Structure 1
Amino acid sequence: MAAAQEHPAELPECPSCAGDGLLPAELRAWMLLLAATGAVEQRLRSVVKKRLDVSHDEFLILCLLAEQPREGLRMTRIAELLGRPKTRLTYQIACLQHAGLVTRKAACEDRRGIEVALTDKARSLLEDASATLAETVGEAFAHVIGADQREALSALVPRLADDTR
């Protein structure tokens, strides 16, 4: 296991790493980033299901709400931030509400809008699971991000490599 973490580049080489295709460096880097985050999501899915008993998409909603004030967010804003269709979000919120993890109420300033907030149960579950989830993400990224990916990402955003702020 330690060898895999020391040498993440032992994974099959991504064809985009060669840099001799049609895509400019920025698009190659974007594709590498998507592949890395996809691999992390795959590892995280089972841990999320086991620890929180929710889908990965529902987990993303919980994480988004966890970073907001206790009054929550409007559903339209959640859909915008997660890039999800409102109809799919309505279903996911209903599932989370049924599980006792979120509440829904009419928005104060506009009765047509719906605000969603975490329940104390959800806050407690996230707090209890956060160390395990963070460790899973860290291990997954360590496994999939090798020298080629770091180089591509640094080329995409040169300030990442040089920024000392």
Structure 2
Amino acid sequence: MADLPECPSSSGTRLLPDELRAWMLVLASTGAVEQRLRSVVKERLDVSHDEFLVLCLLAEQPAGLRMTQIAELLGRPKTRLTYQIACLQHAGLVTRKSVCGDKRGVEVALTDKARALLKESSGLLAETVIQALEEFIGPAQCEAMRALLPGLAKETAAE
């Protein structure tokens, strides 16, 4: 594991409550993982990281999802999502269809090409996540997760 810098709030008095401090440490760690994953996703899938997140969401929903659901789950503006879906559709990775009975509703689903590509690349992508987590998750991040998930601390102590 790389030497992680000392958390600035770990010395002296803390301005942030433990839960907010923990959340910020978790965000920093996941941000570092996303940075590492971006290049692998671009190289292996030839899509952006945001497009990859859409593909991952759809991979867990065989029947597809409405555009509004995807936007809500990813916390993305609908206009940005429309562009991403258009790029994915142009690449042959998703299909779009109108929702029966709702003329404004649009449902998006993975194509067989996208499923095969995700299946083929999933091992490398998972390994990239694991390596990045091993590198960026240090004692402060583990403590932060235990602060956010008190049940995690109990389970760790029981083992």
Q: Which amino acid aligns with 1:34?
A: L
Asked if the contact 1:17/1:28 (under 8 Å) is kept, the reply is: no
Out of 19, 22, 27, which is 2:20 matched to? 27
Secondary structure (helix, strand or coil) at the match of 2:104 reads coil
Counting only pairs closer than 5 Å after superposition, residues 73-152 of structure 1 correspond to structure 2 as 73-152=65-144
What TM-score do you get using the length of structure 1 for normalisation?
A: 0.90
Q: Hey, what does 2:31 align to over in structure 1? A: 38
What TM-score do you get using the length of structure 2 for normalisation?
A: 0.93
Secondary structure (helix, strand or coil) at the match of 1:111 reads strand
Matched, 1:15 2:2: no
- Supply the distance in 2 between the matched residues of 1:148 and 1:17 (Cα, whole angstroms): 9
Cα deviation 1:10-32 (Å, max 9, x = unaligned):
12223134473200000000000
Moved more, 10-19 or 56-65: 10-19
Q: Hey, what does 2:150 align to over in structure 1? A: 158
| Structure 2 unaligned blocks of 5 or more | none
Secondary structure (helix, strand or coil) at the match of 1:113 reads strand
- Supply the distance in 2 between the matched residues of 1:122 and 1:95 (Cα, whole angstroms): 13
Q: Which amino acid aligns with 2:81?
A: L
User: Displaced runs of 4+ in structure 1, greater than 6 A?
Assistant: none
Aligned pairs, number: 156
Identity of aligned residues (%): 74
Counting only pairs closer than 5 Å after superposition, residues 65-80 of structure 1 correspond to structure 2 as 65-69=58-62, 71-80=63-72
| Structure 1 unaligned blocks of 5 or more | none
